[in-house]
Chain A
Amino acid sequence: MTQSAPKSPIVETSRFPASPLPPRAGAGLKTEHVDAILADEHRIGFLEVHAENYMGDGGPAHRALAAIRREFPLSVHGVGLSIGSESGIDPAHLERLAGVVERYEPAMVSEHLAWSSHDAGYFNDLLPVPYNAQTLDRVVAHISQIQDRLKRPILLENPSTYVGFEQSTMSETDFIRDIARRSGCGLLLDVNNVFVSATNHGWKPIHYLRDFPLELVEEIHLAGHAEDVDDEGDLLLIDAHDRPVADAVWKLFEIVISQAGALPTLIEWDNDVPEWPVLRREALLADAILDRLGPASLLGSRHAAE
């Protein structure tokens, strides 16, 4: 077991101010919100972008993000590295991600426990992996490769899944804990994904949270989900990111914060994107919970003490 996570770079001759993610609510950045965010009297805690949207060389998208980055802490969230891929990490794509990270010096870089690329092409979706020793070795090797290239630790996000694998031999929480222990990565806990996967697989979300290594969590994601039915007509939840956060997910979030303390918490809304004030309202709901439950938490307000 190694715990030799690379340290965050010291930024002195930087284009941007060094701004860590505060233990407050942030929002997923949408191009159409940039002007409203910059003009808003309420200063959102941080913004997060999908790395792949900024892998072009230049143009208006980069100008907008640079304006945001000058005023707000930024998190870069990759969706295309395909960390669970059997065909390895695409070195060209890792270079593109490194380019975005060097360009914007984000406070945080995160990716998913999933795969999305194969010889057949890129699927533009986060596909599941079986939880067993072979996948564990592969994912740990890939995360180490990424962290070596970026010269910083990344956060790994727990997935929303719809199917299971006969090949799985470990629970998701044990699998994720082992990845973090062996690779030195931190964790991004998507509370909506916990609720979606727990419903879809018949787990109790509260048991998942009990088993999850909360002490390694450095960021939270919250989002809305859609409802469908499975082959037997039972409820099947879809990680849709197209509506407000569900009440049950807010309750789980309260439990996480009362145990782990206040953490940077992102509201994700990627489809049927509303006007900025709707997203801001979700962020304010998260801020209220962070303020109310963070200080009295079991693990204490770790980030405020740093």
Chain B
Amino acid sequence: MPRSETEIGAGQHDFSAALLNPELPLPQGIVGPHGKNAFKRFAVYRNNVTVSLIDALAGIFPAIQRLVGESFFRDMARLYIAKEPPRSPVIFEYGGGFAAFLERFEPLARYPYLPDVARLERAWLDAFHAADADPLHPGSLGAIPPEHLAGTTFIAHPAARIVKSGFAAVSIFSASREDRTLEGIRPGDPEDGLITRPLDAVEIRRLPAGAADFFTALIAGASLGEAAGETVARHPGFDLPSAISAMLEAGVFSGCSFGAANSEETA
């Protein structure tokens, strides 16, 4: 029997609520054929939604899944999905709040490095899907007249991401993704991670002290001189030349410009 528009309008609202909360009764009007029940039938949709989103999270955070174990991961992912379902059909963007969820997840309080490992995994996938751009050619800085070097500014490569961590997040990420044990890693050693995609593949590096601040300042638009000055002030042992060669090798930037002429050098 046809129902009014407002009643129909309540349909997907109730359907949605019942999908996410198995304690709720079936939405009104949901039936099996020929007077059959629909509880197990509706459970197929509940299961599809949950399982497909858990699988999606497992695909985005494989290092976390390996570190906590598959069964623990799936139970935890179920809770995260109920709390923060995806907002968009572009599933590879899902899980932006997963690291923050892990930070507040009491059963994992003994593993405080996990949130930063999750941040690295999320940044890895962002880098994978980021726009294409040629990284700055390693020789391009040499072409800049020395008097203009300090005033040179850079354009961040679309795939470049920096994750600062008070834990050995990069080593733990790499060990887990490469299916190695955490033997020899001291989780409390701080490590900053740099993620880039200079060619076709995403790369992750551990940054020396100060480099994360230096790159972050350059990405934000500071000139080479400003960024170096700020970084040295905070990290007295900062090794500027090796940071510059690391950024060129990793492909952190896709272009640079200097002086009033604002001429632009790209790879």
**Cβ 8 A contact of A162, one of B37, B42, B87, B200:** B42
Contacts A86-B12, A121-B85, A163-B42 given: A53-B33 contact, CB under 8 Å? no
Is B32 an interface position by the 8 A CB rule?
yes
Assess whether A166 is in contact with B29, with CB atoms less than 8 Å apart: yes
Q: How large is the interface on B (under 10, 10 to 19, 20 to 34, 35 or more residues)?
A: 35 or more
Distance from B106 Cβ to chain A, minimum over Cβ atoms (Å): 24
Contact of A118 among B3, B12, B92, B201 (CB under 8 A): B12
Which residues from chain B contact A130 at a C-beta distance below 8 Å? 8, 11, 29
Report chain A residues within 8 Å CB of B11.
86, 130, 165, 167
> Known: A58-B131, A58-B158. Is A124-B49 also a contact (CB below 8 A)?
yes
Indicate if B44 sits at the interface (CB-CB under 8 A).
yes
Chain A nearest CB, measured from B87 CB (Å): 6
CB-CB under 8 A for A163 and B41, given A56-B92, A60-B201: yes
Q: Count of chain A residues with Cβ under 8 Å from any Cβ of B?
A: 56
Minimum Cβ distance to chain B for residue A142 (Å): 14
B267 CB–A CB distance under 8 Å: no
Do the beta carbons of A60 and B128 come within 8 Å of each other? Answer: yes
> B residues within 8 A CB of A167?
1-3, 8, 11, 29
Q: Known: A52-B90, A115-B12, A125-B52. Is A59-B36 also a contact (CB below 8 A)?
A: no
Cβ of B195 to closest chain A Cβ, rounded Å: 13
**Of B12, B87, B158, which is within 8 A of A122 by CB?**
B87
A49 to chain B, nearest CB (A): 13
Q: Does B235 touch A at the CB level, under 8 Å?
A: no
Quote the shortest CB–CB distance from A66 to chain B (angstroms): 11
Q: Which residues of A contact B17 (CB under 8 A)?
A: 120
The answer to whether A162 and B44 touch (CB under 8 A), given A58-B131, A124-B53, is yes
Residue A227, interface by CB 8 Å:
no
Choose from A63, A86, A202, A236 the contact partner of B41 (Cβ within 8 Å): A236
Interfacial chain A residues near B44, Cβ < 8 Å? 162, 228, 236, 238
Interface residues of chain B, those whose CB is within 8 Å of chain A, are: 1-3, 5, 8-9, 11-13, 15-17, 19-20, 28-34, 36-42, 44-45, 48-49, 52-53, 56, 85-92, 127-133, 158-159, 197, 200-201
Q: A: which residues have CB within 8 A of B?
A: 52-53, 55-63, 79-82, 85-87, 92-93, 96, 115-125, 127, 130, 132-135, 162-167, 169, 200-202, 228-232, 234, 236, 238
Q: List 19 A-B contacts (CB under 8 A).
A: A53-B92, A56-B129, A58-B130, A58-B133, A59-B127, A79-B89, A117-B89, A121-B86, A123-B19, A124-B49, A125-B48, A133-B2, A162-B42, A165-B11, A166-B31, A167-B11, A230-B32, A231-B36, A231-B38
